[in-house]
Structure 1
Amino acid sequence: MIKTLWKQQTKLLFRQAGLLMTLLLFSLIATFSLYSGHAIIRQQNLYIDSLEQLYKQDKSELLEAFVDTATAIGRQKASQAGTPEVINYRLPQNAVNRPTGLAILSVGTREVAPFYDRVRTNVSFLNPANGTIFNPLLLFLGKIDFSFVLLYLLPLVVIIFCYDLGAKEKEQGTLPLLRVQGLSDSMLYLGKITFRLALIWSVYLLLQVLAFIIAYMTAPFSLIEAVQWTLLFSGWLFLWFIIGYAFLHLNLSSHANAIALICSWVLMLFLLPNMLNSYVNSRYPIPLRTDIASYERHQSELIWEMRPADLVDSFHRYNPAYTATFVPARDTAHLSRRFVAGYYDLLARRLRKKNEELQRELSQREYTAKRYSSWVPGVFIQYAANCLAHTDLEAQRSFEKAVADFQSEWKDFLYQFQLSERNLRPSDFARFPVFKTAYRSIKLPVMHLLYPWVLGILILITSILLLCLKQKH
């Protein structure tokens, strides 16, 4: 019986140009979203490549300066080329966060958060690369990428295909004819909705395969991540078909059904996320960074006016490894290398302590947004997609921590020359520390993947129970 009904639905589909145009338009928008996501990630890759090319060029020029000693100017440049201060200024180390393959499908925070940093021995907490994303929704949502199309537009396709499933035959007066052929209302609804589910899911899978091919050409990703992604958004599609199926039992007109489904779409993808954002903003207001700016200016003036001996002593208390090369007559003079190192060290420690207060407030905001996202399906699905694409907040925080660790490593490397009054030789350039980003292996918790499936099943069970109660009465 279902097979016969599916054949009938296939014939009807080709007579309904509106439904075919809907699928075509959705496919075109999805394809454009792949182009949009690929363009963003490609631009970031090109920028990273240009940074690395510029670094190689600057490094080559510094090394060439060691060789050109035939003239007085050449000898002067050669003597300056190896000084730690010149290297720190002219040759900052690149710390880059290259995108993974799935990043073109879900750009996430990569569009609003820094994806590179030029590392020097000193760090400013007002540097844009050390900025913070304040809007909790921006931690999860992005622009028009493939995940955006699946999250927002795929439910609309389901609504267009499902809003008149039960009401059409009643409004056209063909329902009695179908009942004569032995089709019950439940069998009719089930056959029609499973046909549309299979159709739209097939279109989604074709687009998903195309997306994976394009993504893999950008950067490789694991098969597990691809399976998890497909399972996640297949569940999202299943959830919306269940919502459409639940409304069938209310016996509404096709227009009322369409309005109810659109209201559900607006509620899940607009009202609930904005309510979450409003709650987080009211509970944990955005802290201002202007306090750090004024604090940094004030502390820099105070530290600069300190007695050089006191500043050097403070530096040694927190950096005892450099006491072996300490020469009091040389290193306690104002503007000595150790004085400058002590200045930046003390300023960084005070700013870091001040910044920790701000970070605690921001962490509380982020934790609250993440905690309550399970009550907001749209935000929760996008968050899971960002996790799989390594474009979520945790990935950004991991990159920032790696940059901070590398900055400390680079500082230690240069300080061994700077504080012992030695210059670097060309052979020392080969020993520069190298920044490495260790991408964490993503394996989402089972409940994250099953979230839309479980939610859909709960809605289905609830609708069936309500229908049974209605029939009893």
Structure 2
Amino acid sequence: MSLATTIFRFEFRQLLRQPSQLIMLAFYIIISIYSLYAGHAVISRQAAGLDSLHKNKAALQQELHKRFHEDTSTRAGKNLAANAGVPQVVEFRNPPYATHPPHRLSMLAIGQRDLLPSYDLVSSKHEIVTPPNAEFINAEKLAAGNFDLSFVIIYLFPLLVMAWSHNCLSKEMESRTDKLLAIQGASMRKIVYYKLLFRFIVIALIIFLLSVPGFVLTIPYSRMSITDVLLWLYLALIYLLFWFALCWLIIGFRQSSHWNILCTLGLWLLFVIVIPAAMNSSATLIAPPPLHSELASAQRVCKEETWEMPVPALIDSFYQRHPEYHHLRQTGDTAEFGNRRFIAYTDLLGARLNRIMQAHDKSMQRYNKILLRGLYFNPVTQLQHLLYANAESGLANYNDYTMQVNIFREKWIRFMNNYLLFDRRFKEEELDSLPRFSFSGDDAKTRKILIGSISVWLMIIIIIATGKLTHPGY
């Protein structure tokens, strides 16, 4: 019988005979199951909201069609028929919505999906995308974050690795069995390797089994590919490998079990709390992020100043920016509450708000760039970032969504202007061919995640190389 088989059988029997270890594993399984429930509840609420939105939009679409067939023998029917196809009525009654549907893996890694909007109302009035954190949120929940499976994997499973692996060698030394094994010609290095490998396989199997519900549970409007599943498992496995490599390094110093557990806990605090806090403080000092209150105040002042502009100046600015409509210019364009005045106002307001948002985004990009650079020095935050990227629940994915929404808004404004400026009405058959928003994911997501994981592999290699240098023969 090979040494590996002997060690595996012995460790399996030891696991079954020690209630403390079984209770510890059961505890992790229970909290992981709860994290699955919590994640599924959050994402299901978002999916239910999107489903309600689609049903409501379909009902409003039917109402717009019904206006073309109203009974004009009654006053109410005559009014509805008179407004049938009016562009302002069509946009007001059934405005286009941009939706950000959840990825199926987002129930495993909620990220910032519970804080950021899952849909936006698009209007030719050129309003800004729904601002994040606009709703009231429980402050305690906001500080603690979501208790999803990614939280359990990133923050809690390392503690299980430490508690179960810190005494793989020191226990043999303290019970003097290492000397007996040495007399029999057994290699303590191989024994420790196989013990760690057994623990690695058991914990990896637990994570795999706990992830299966996230792979198979169906959520409306969600999407997922086999590549996403493989990436999730790949990231979870290299994260476990990183912590087992750290434990192997500490065990190699051949100190007591108490010394080993204190060192591993110190490393856990370093990577999970100290380094992320230091990087966040450094980024805040180097490139302070702009306040949302300042952005809201600047937008409000911009709206007021633009509205107070003289109507002729507004009209002149519109035709200067859009010479393709210059042949439509009339003397009645300067009417105080004319249609052209509102079109010119929203156009100029949009240009000014875009400049404000660009300055705000530029400051945020400097701040986020520093944080992203810091991820490469900490496998914990890097793996958390990659898990969110794979589940499309991070800030980068939302920024990509808002960019697509802004592009669609410009397309919608140009579409509506062709009706408003030419005083055209929608025909009934045109109501079903209005522009619609469709979110497209990042095609380079897999490549970016694989490249991002290289820094974790480099850290693992550095740990193993350090162990080989400091523990020759181990």
TM-score (norm 2): 0.91
**Could you say which residue in structure 2 is the equivalent of 1:158?**
161
Offset of residue 123 of structure 1: 2.7
Distance 2:224 2:5 in 1: 39
Distance 1:215 1:364 in 2: 38
Contact 1:126 1:293 in 2 (8 A): no
- Report whether the alignment pairs 1:453 with 2:457: yes
Of 254, 265, 270, 1:267 maps to 270
**Could you say which residue in structure 2 is the equivalent of 1:62?**
64
Which shows bigger deviation, 398-407 or 294-303?
Answer: 294-303
Residues 43, 190 of structure 1: CA spacing in aligned structure 2 closer, same or farther, 3 A cutoff? same
Matched residue of 1:443: which SS? helix
Deviations 1:269-315 (A, max 9, x none): 11111111111111111213444444444443433343323211211
Residues 430, 330 of structure 1: CA spacing in aligned structure 2 closer, same or farther, 3 A cutoff? farther
**Could you say which residue in structure 2 is the equivalent of 1:88?**
91
Residues 24, 294 of structure 1: CA spacing in aligned structure 2 closer, same or farther, 3 A cutoff? closer
Identity %: 28
Residues 90, 217 of structure 1: CA spacing in aligned structure 2 closer, same or farther, 3 A cutoff? closer
Contact 1:106 1:142 in 2 (8 A): no
**Could you say which residue in structure 2 is the equivalent of 1:341?**
343
Offset of residue 129 of structure 1: 5.7
- Aligned counterparts, 1:13-92, within 5 A: 13-68=15-70, 69-92=72-95
**Could you say which residue in structure 1 is the equivalent of 2:468?**
464
Distance 2:201 2:169 in 1: 18
Deviations 1:359-396 (A, max 9, x none): 11011111111111111211100111111112223321
Deviations 1:314-333 (A, max 9, x none): 1111123333433x133221
Distance 2:301 2:219 in 1: 50
**Could you say which residue in structure 1 is the equivalent of 2:138?**
none
Contact 1:102 1:215 in 2 (8 A): no
Distance 2:188 2:303 in 1: 78
Contact 1:231 1:449 in 2 (8 A): no
Contact 2:101 2:221 in 1 (8 A): no
Contact 2:129 2:402 in 1 (8 A): no
**Could you say which residue in structure 2 is the equivalent of 1:212?**
215
**Could you say which residue in structure 2 is the equivalent of 1:236?**
239
Matched residue of 1:468: which SS? coil
**Could you say which residue in structure 1 is the equivalent of 2:403?**
401
**Could you say which residue in structure 2 is the equivalent of 1:135?**
none
Matched residue of 1:456: which SS? helix
Distance 1:396 1:115 in 2: 9
Which shows bigger deviation, 200-209 or 146-155?
Answer: 200-209
Residues 203, 296 of structure 1: CA spacing in aligned structure 2 closer, same or farther, 3 A cutoff? closer
Residues 12, 297 of structure 1: CA spacing in aligned structure 2 closer, same or farther, 3 A cutoff? closer
Q: RMSD of aligned C-alpha atoms?
A: 2.5
- Report whether the alignment pairs 1:168 with 2:171: yes
Distance 1:289 1:207 in 2: 38
In the alignment, residue 368 of structure 1 is paired with which amino acid? I
Residues 299, 33 of structure 1: CA spacing in aligned structure 2 closer, same or farther, 3 A cutoff? closer
Distance 2:292 2:223 in 1: 38
- Aligned counterparts, 1:336-415, within 5 A: 336-415=338-417
Deviations 1:153-195 (A, max 9, x none): 2211111111211121222333333333332332332232222
Contact 2:162 2:261 in 1 (8 A): yes
Residues 174, 364 of structure 1: CA spacing in aligned structure 2 closer, same or farther, 3 A cutoff? same
Matched residue of 1:369: which SS? helix
Distance 1:169 1:239 in 2: 24
In the alignment, residue 222 of structure 1 is paired with which amino acid? S
Contact 1:103 1:389 in 2 (8 A): yes
Deviations 1:78-132 (A, max 9, x none): 2224322222222211100111222222122212222210111123348426979
Distance 2:13 2:184 in 1: 18
Distance 1:413 1:64 in 2: 23
Distance 1:101 1:283 in 2: 37
Distance 2:163 2:220 in 1: 34
Which shows bigger deviation, 26-35 or 218-227?
Answer: 218-227
Of 423, 426, 434, 2:425 maps to 423
Which shows bigger deviation, 289-298 or 343-352?
Answer: 289-298
Which shows bigger deviation, 199-208 or 387-396?
Answer: 199-208
Residues 129, 6 of structure 1: CA spacing in aligned structure 2 closer, same or farther, 3 A cutoff? closer
Distance 1:422 1:217 in 2: 38
TM-score (norm 1): 0.91
